[in-house]
Amino acid sequence: MPTHDDKIHRDRRHGPQLSQSARPATFEVATRDEHGNAGTAAIAGEHPLTVYVDKREILTLMTLGAAPEALVIGYLRNQRLVDSIEDLVAVQVDWEVNAASVYTRNGLVNLEEKMAHRTKTTGCGSGTVFGDLMADIDAIHLPAADDSVQLTQSTLYALAELVRKHETIYKQAGAVHGCALFSTQPELLYFVEDVGRHNAVDAIAGMMWLDGVDGSDKIFYTTGRLTSEMVIKAAQMGVPFLVSRSGLTQMGYEIAKQVGMTMIGRAVNKHFLLFNDPGRFVFDASASKDE
């Protein structure tokens, strides 16, 4: 299930009206082990959710269903279809028909043009990006490297330990990716799991918008690989630090360099590789060779 720090919530009475329609994250099913013994096991949920905006069908997302309203809002944000949270009047999810109905004040931004150009991405579950994949990247300027926006090595280790200890659907059932947003203390602000990592990052983007959370001093963590889509979405959220326990792609690396993002991959326990850093990362700890 998604988690968040209640201290960062703003008053949502001025945001869109939201349903509260989370689905159960796991389901118990019958199994037999290698010895033929009967038992049960938890498996991750997966549900189709068709998104309608002002009664027009946009696409169908395959999702765990743990944070569907935030997922839809974050998707519209990261696709650059909505300029601000104030543009949204309501987001209502109805699992009886597997649909999310979004109502806006003034319609979507350049919808016809963007729907005419779709890019199938490397995201788990066959992600889709509307419009030019590289559009608006030149306009993104992440915070410059200075003493006020830094990530220390000891903070990175503490972050990895928080992730390791966090109760997750993956530990129960596998088959999901997780994403998290941290402050540089570090403090876990949001943790979301879904069947695709692009869904998890979109859900966090939606939560940030709903809560008015600024990304300029935050750290984004993902269990999945750092592809171009993940880097672009984190950059659009204004987050300067992107950390993964997995690896990265060449395009993800090149875009991170272009926008000035600190990128860290293969971060497990006290191991990591710093792939790109414009001067924000501080080495202040040492790792044991035995870890």
The three-state (H, E, C) secondary structure of 140-170, written as one string? CCCCCCECCECEEHHHHHHHHHHHHHCCCHH
Predicted pLDDT of residue 125: 42
pLDDT for 291:
54
User: Residue 26: phi, psi to the nearest 5?
Assistant: -130, 160
Residue located via tokens 């692009």: 198
> Is the bond preceding residue 2 a cis peptide, omega within 30 degrees?
no
pLDDT at 123 (0 to 100): 47
Residue 55 per-residue DSSP state: T
Rounded CA separation 149/143 (Å): 8
Whether the predicted pLDDT of 69 surpasses 90 = yes
**pLDDT of the residue at 4:** 53
User: Residue 178's pLDDT is what?
Assistant: 86
Other residues' Cβ atoms within 10 Å of the Cβ of residue 7:
7
pLDDT at 173: 54
- The region of weakest confidence among 18-27, 118-127, 132-141, 153-162 is 118-127
> What pLDDT shows up at residue 126?
44
The stretch 24-48 carries a mean pLDDT of: 84
114-151 confidence digits (pLDDT tens) = 666 554 444 444 455 555 556 667 778 787 777 778 99
The SS3 of residue 69 is helix
Query: Cα(95)–Cα(252) distance, rounded to whole angstroms?
Result: 35
Q: How does pLDDT run across 72-101, given as a tens digit for each residue?
A: 999 999 988 898 999 999 999 999 999 999
pLDDT score of 119: 47
Q: Which of 13-17, 34-38, 99-103 has the lowest mean pLDDT?
A: 13-17
pLDDT-based confidence at 155, cuts 50/70/90?
very high
| Mean pLDDT score across all residues of the chain | 84
Q: Tokens 């993104």 sit at which residue? A: 140
pTM of the model: 0.83
In terms of pLDDT, which residue wins out, 234 or 29?
234
Tokens of 238: 């204004």
